[in-house]
Amino acid sequence: MRIPILVLTLILALVFLATAVPKLTGQAAMRERMDHLGVSPGLTRLLGVLEIAAIAGLLLGLLWPPLGIAAAIGLALQMVGAVVYHARAKDPVGVSAVPAVFAVIAVVLAYLHLQG
């Protein structure tokens, strides 16, 4: 069970690092995407901070699974929120599917931690 946990942890950590940095640095493309969704610059930065915290929780969760479970659940909830924002912005289903897939991956990771 350890290899799937390690793989999913690394996938989530890398993906969310790639989304957190542009949010925290205020990159123009990210600002445009978040403006489209109706997300303020302050909330965008907060989401970036939460993603960095989740990355730390996921990685430390390899040593202490309860932390990994909490981080995975937090990411899943954040991704559910992203799906809602995309739906409100009337984005195509394919765009909303991306955060939905990552929410499912995070839930699977939490489940695997619970089974391990």
**Digit-coded pLDDT (tens) for 54-72:** 999 999 999 999 999 999 9
Share of the chain above pLDDT 70, in %: 99
Measured CA to CA, the distance from residue 3 to residue 105 in angstroms comes to: 15
Q: Are 110 and 69 in contact (CB under 8 A)?
A: yes
Domain assignments of the chain as residue spans, ordered by start: 2-115
**How many CA atoms are closer than 13 Å to the CA of 11, on its beta-carbon side?**
15
pLDDT value of residue 116 = 80
CA distance from start to end of the chain: 6
User: From the DSSP assignment, how many helices (H) and strands (E) are in the chain?
Assistant: 5, 0
What is the pTM assigned to this prediction? 0.93
Query: pLDDT tens across 32-56, in order?
Result: 999 999 999 999 999 999 999 999 9
Q: Mark 64-85 as b/e (b = at least 16 C-beta within 10 Å).
A: ebebbbbbbbbbbebbeebbeb
Q: Which residue has the tokens 């542009």?
A: 22
